[in-house]
Chain A
Amino acid sequence: MRTDRITFRSGPLIDMPLLLGIVLVATLGIVNLYSATSVYIDAGQRAGLADIYVSQVYWIVVGGLLAILAAAVDYRHLERLAYVLYLVGIVSLLTVLVLGADIRGSSRWIQLGGFTFQPSEFMKIFLILVIAKHLHNDPKTEPRTLLDLAPPIGLAALPTALVMMQPDLGTSIVYLLTAASILAMTKIRRRSLMWLALVGGVGVPFAYKYLLHDYQRARITSFLDPEGDKTGAGWHAFQSKTAIGNGQIWGEGFMQGTQNQFGFLPDQHSDFPFAVFAEDWGFVGGVVLIATYAFLCVWAVNVAAQAKDRFGAALAIGVGALVFWHTIANMGMALGLLPVVGITLPLFSYGGSSVVTILVSLGLLMNVSMRR
């Protein structure tokens, strides 16, 4: 009896609010994917999508199991594996570049048995782990200098460059923003900060001019001048805004959003699930969803604040940042606030690798939360 009680007390406690938040988002995501793809009009090219919500459920189950695994094993064991995992990630990214399957003009996938998967997605977790590990091993009381920041920046830059070559602009932006968010926790010397700002200020236009492909530039110019292009990239943003606005307060109702059902939303299952959701459920649904994501992000900061070591804190912030930047970028794109770059909405966008990555990283957050 006594031992039982001790086990109960000292054993890891499940973070219920976090769990509920995850379950809520995942459930809404499935429901929304059903609305987005099980179209009742017979628009030819969409017929193939009719059943993808089922595979999404499978992926959530798989991701969920992996997340439980990720939450169960004490994260401090992962700390030791961080560099190894990072190396595995880099190698798989190189593999993709060499023999990746070419889908829609960019090679992102690796075929393994009957599955194709996207190493760049899993790399997100490995990147968080490796930067957390680096900070963990490098405690400082003095503000950090550029030299101190060089190694973690290098760790982030390598996979970013590899992903840019695929080319996958969205994922490379996510890498940079997530890594930057973790590093933002550290104290940095003011001079170094100014240097970083300067490099960023020069680097962005440079990257725009020399590193981006024409179609990527076109998305940005059409975002800056939406009237100039209502047929190409600007068209998608225009239809998405129309869909969201069409939701008004209460929404058109489940599976009733006309922009979605009549095929005016392109990539409604991957790039624009939020437009589908906001059209079906209106302002009320949209606010609930945004609030749930906001809760997850703020909760991750809370978990970090209570983490018992630097690795846990950095890991929690990394997961929070991952969810945060995905959500902001995807919703901002659907709302016409940001240019259209393919960044998924966590647990809403269709995609096995993406769903598993997000669930596993949320499992890691749970892990940190349970062991504070």
Chain B
Amino acid sequence: MASGATDGSLVEIDGVSKYFDTAVSVTDRLFRRDPVPVRAVEDVSLTIEEGDIVGIAGESGCGKTTLGNLLVNLYDPTEGTITFDGMDITRMSSEEESAFRRRVQMIFQDPFESLNPRKTVLDSVVEPLRINGIGDGWSDRRQRVIEALEDVELAPAERYLDKFPGELSGGERQRVAIARALVINPDFIVADEPVSMLDVSIRAGVLNLMKDLQDEYGLTYVFISHDLSLIRYMTEKTAIMYLGDVIEYGPTDEIVESPKHPYTQSLFEAVPKVDPTLDRQRANVTGEVPSARDPPAGCKFHPRCPKIIPPDDWTGSQDAYRRLYQFRYSLIQRDLGPEDVDPDTRASEVDQLLSRGLVLDVPEEHRKSGEDLREGVDLDAVDLPPEAEEALRDAARNVLGGDYEAAIERVDRDFESICSSTHPTVPTMPEDPPACHLYLEETAEAPLAEQS
């Protein structure tokens, strides 16, 4: 999993995990509970080469901002190491840290918040110079600030020096933030959603500026965003994250044009198209992003995945298997129970429970006709093999009796998917397959990968 040090690699992330809330509080001790930490980043290994522009994309809560903060040493990883130009940044002496801070900088999302509102532009941009002892004397430093401001196209620079952030527009503030990051000539910049708070017509200017600066100064960027079109515009390689895992990593164009991981596919399906004449299908994904405190077992995406892998001996359709797994997941979440059964209708309780539990919570175009979130799905329309139906009925009876553990166990006995039993290997190099059993060698069932 860990890649050896490659020539030209600037940053190596090796098995890094970051958990929050790991401290054991007094109440936990009193009640003998183990603290349940938030697993913001889990076992990420990536290599970033010099001159790369790497994108880290994903929805909120996927861990991308945490990863960004780890890269600039704002946090220490719970596990794993991050190496910058051969130096382990998790254990640095203070000289090494000073050197590190001179070479690595960050651009933050909110241009107003990242500048101290009580400091002038000059004060804010000169501060990194002062801290790192760069420049000889006040006027030299002032000159460097002016050069940095000119680099970010804030001209005439002198007029900006004594302004306060409140007097500047959003785009101007973000340029000041970039100037501050650049003024000490770093090698590596992490940009965390740098344009998401700017107006649309201003974004392009800032993004183009970042591209130009990269050309001019040979910078290496990590560009974090949830906006996939920006990722496409800015980056050459992208890592897609979900709940702390890197689930796909590769050249941006490839990922955008032919995404492999089902989550990546649904992300791109969900992006609205700017062409009003094109129709778009809604993303075929159920439910919502689960909590990072208690992520699903195995592949973290499996409860929502349209392409979940049935066991080798499954004889029904993939759709039916997906529904079976939805039922199983709602048992694990205790979302389904005796209270969902209406004693007045003619259908038996077991039938009702199955009918509700086998529903897919997806947009209408992906549902069966007549399927309804409330009424449930018509059991005959779902082609479950008889053994599966038998198992589900047993499980339903367990649920009606209140024994969820037995119900889950009954389903798992014969119908457990590799997707929930085994965590897929995460990619660490652009050539690696995505973190999905459909693509990993352990699953020899290539034909099943095409069936959907």
A binds B: no
